[in-house]
Structure 1
Amino acid sequence: MATLTIDPNYGYVLLAAASTFLLNSVHAANTGKYRKAAKVDYPSAYAPDSRTDTAAHQFNCAQRAHGNFIENQPTALGSLLLAGIRFPVTSALLGIAWTISRYVYSQGGAGGKGRYKGISFFLFQAGLTGLAIYNGVAMVMQW
């Protein structure tokens, strides 16, 4: 049986992972701000389609941006933690880049201003997933 020794640089991976938790809080606060402005009461997840005002549109965009974050966070986070076992610094850098690009993405998408500015998060997420897969193959093949 193999022994796993964790590189002290794995701490950077943990910090990058924690940054995603902070960003989730930013998303929640941002969505709450737009919810209040649009006067959309809980438990409604979105403003109804019958509302065509800017405040309702901005709230719906913020809510969708948050939903998109929540959809992608588990894959990015899991890949970050797995990739960091062998490549802690590279993984941490990709993880921080993912968080920053997700923030940029959320700011564009939340206000209905265009979400494509931070779309590069897909590249960082793909890199982390690739490294995680490589780690699994390398362990099985005993590279």
Structure 2
Amino acid sequence: MATMAIAPDYGYVLLAATSTFIVNIMHMLNTGAYRKAAKIAYPAAYAPSSRTDADAHRFNCAQRAHANYIENQVSTLGALFIAGLSYPRVAAGMGLGWSVCRWLYMKGYSEGAAGGKGRYRGIAYMLFQVGLIGMAGWTGVSTVLGW
């Protein structure tokens, strides 16, 4: 039976995980600012489709960027924590890269470019996310096989 010890470098993984919480707070503040500018009252999640003004559009873009973030954060954190057991520094670097790209995604998407094209500024988050998932899978395989 394989055993696993947590290396002191795992602290970097925890710091990278913390960066995702900070980016989430940035999303909350960003969306709140666009909500205020568009004068969208709570509890409405989005501006109604009858609103065609730029402020409403940018609010919807900011809200969608945040929703996309929270849709991806959980699986990325899981992969980060698992991958970090075997590759703490690499996983932490990828986790931090993911957070930076997600911030770029938020800033770009919130600008309200046609078709949401501004989000492509941070689209590299997918590479970090897939890399972390792959490393997490490899950590599982190597643990089961006792490598």
Name the TM tier (shorter chain): over 0.9
Give the aligned residue type for 1:15: L
Contact 1:79/1:128 (<8 A) preserved: yes
Structure 1 runs of 4+ with >2 Å offset: 1-4
Query: Which of 135, 139, 143 matches 2:143?
Result: 139
Identity of aligned residues (%): 57
1:97-142 residue CA offsets vs partner (Å, 9 max, x unmatched): 0000000011001121311010000000000000000000111111
Which residue number corresponds to residue 90 of structure 2?
A: 90
Could you tell me how far apart the structure 2 residues matched to 1:81 and 1:101 are?
19
Give the aligned residue type for 1:130: G
Q: How does 1:114-133 map to 2 (within 5 A)?
A: 114-133=118-137
Contact 1:17/1:80 (<8 A) preserved: yes
TM-score of the aligned structures, taking structure 2 as reference length: 0.95
Segments of structure 2 that go 5 or more residues without pairing to the other structure are none
Segments of structure 1 that go 5 or more residues without pairing to the other structure are none
Which residue number corresponds to residue 11 of structure 1?
A: 11
Give the aligned residue type for 2:78: G
Give the aligned residue type for 1:129: I
TM-score of the aligned structures, taking structure 1 as reference length: 0.98
The aligned length equals 143
Contact 2:2/2:146 (<8 A) preserved: no
Which residue number corresponds to residue 62 of structure 1?
A: 62
Could you tell me how far apart the structure 1 residues matched to 2:40 and 2:63 are?
11
Moved more, 108-117 or 39-48: 108-117
